Amino acid sequence: MKPFPIPVVADLPMGPGSQIEEDTLDYMVMPSGMSTYQAPALPEREEIASLTGAHEALRLALACLDRARHGLPADPVDLMHLNDAERRLINQVLGEGEVSVRVSLADGELVVQEAVFAGVWRVLHQVTQRGSEARVVRSDRIEVGRIPQGVLESAAARVQAGGARRVRLQPDDTSAWPAGVMNAPAILTELEDHIHLWKPGVAAHVVNLTLLPLSPQDVAVIDQTLGQGPIQILSRGYGNCRIVHTEVPLTWRVSYFNSQDALILDTVEVTDLPEVACAAREDLEDSHERLADMLAWVEGA
């Protein structure tokens, strides 16, 4: 018999854990805490049977959803006439969904909270009371659609007031850039060009800052040039997506954070409204079915 070509060493330790590992694996933390639909907790049916004002408001909201899912405009549902008990039932049914919005106005603030039914929005217009810092609710309503009308109007007003075609993001004297600036001038030129070319219906132009080599001076110049406008949107899902309308018309900062609140994607979008903030047609279809089931339970059908 020929000798075995590979020597067998029987004295070496074998099996799991017997070998020394010089390198250890450092796994990326996976996303957690995803926001998903949960049916709101409601009181006993007997306790809410007499709250007819809330029932009527929910029926109107369902009718609005039916129009919106077919691409038709829907009027807002006014809630100012409801009493405390009826408003409390509305709060319980709608709950709090993924998207919240704050819009600074000349006389106060627009506070928007999406319901657990995507595309259904609770909209409060709060004004500052004269002589104090207190806020008074001027209007309380339910709106149905991609995004509340007040948010669209505020963004559109920035375009009209700022004159998108007159936007200048580059200084007249480019030698004024601070030392260390590398790519900020090219990025601002790209944004300026697409702002001038934008038309309704054109897809958003996205500049991914995360993939670009930027110095601290670049980041500072971009932040200072774009500024922060009156619209702030927070969308929650896997982590958070923070959307801020800049002081420049049609220009949004869209930043994505993981579940540990670490920035994973930083972008600038040239568009009238980023799609990530809007409810899709499929969302409206799903919300119509869910709200119909909820209303049937509320009314004891």
Residue 279 to residue 263: CA distance in whole angstroms: 24
In tens, the pLDDT along 11-46 reads 555 555 555 555 555 555 554 555 555 666 677 777
Per-residue burial over 98-137, b = 16 or more CB atoms within 10 Å of its CB, e = otherwise: bbbbebeeeebebbbbbbbbbbbbbbbbbbeeeeeeeeee
- Phi, psi for residue 50 in degrees, rounded to 5: -85, 0
SS3 8: coil
Q: Supply 93's token pair.
A: 């049914």
Better-scored residue on pLDDT, 134 or 59: 59
- Phi, psi for residue 128 in degrees, rounded to 5: -80, 125
Model pLDDT, residue 238: 67
Residue 233 to residue 201: CA distance in whole angstroms: 21
CB neighbours of 35 closer than 8 A, spacing ≥ 6? 97, 98, 236, 237
Model pLDDT, residue 164: 65
User: Is residue 168 in a domain?
Assistant: yes
For tokens 């017997």, the residue is: 18
What is the average per-residue pLDDT within 68-90?
A: 94
Q: Give Cα separations from 187 to 83, 113, 247, 265, 268 (angstroms).
A: 53, 33, 16, 16, 10
Residue 52 and residue 134 in one domain: yes
User: Is residue 256 in a domain?
Assistant: yes
Domain that holds residue 46: 42-146+279-301
User: Is residue 115 in a domain?
Assistant: yes
% pLDDT > 70, the chain? 81
Residue 46 and residue 139 in one domain: yes
User: Is residue 62 in a domain?
Assistant: yes
Residue 191 and residue 244 in one domain: yes
287 pLDDT band, cuts 50/70/90, is very high
Q: Are 215 and 182 in contact (CB under 8 A)?
A: yes
Residue 284 and residue 250 in one domain: no
Model pLDDT, residue 36: 58
User: Is residue 8 in a domain?
Assistant: no
Q: Are 188 and 170 in contact (CB under 8 A)?
A: yes
User: Is residue 30 in a domain?
Assistant: no
Total count of domains within the chain: 2
Residue 170 to residue 182: CA distance in whole angstroms: 14
pTM over the 0.85 mark: no
Residue 299 to residue 87: CA distance in whole angstroms: 16
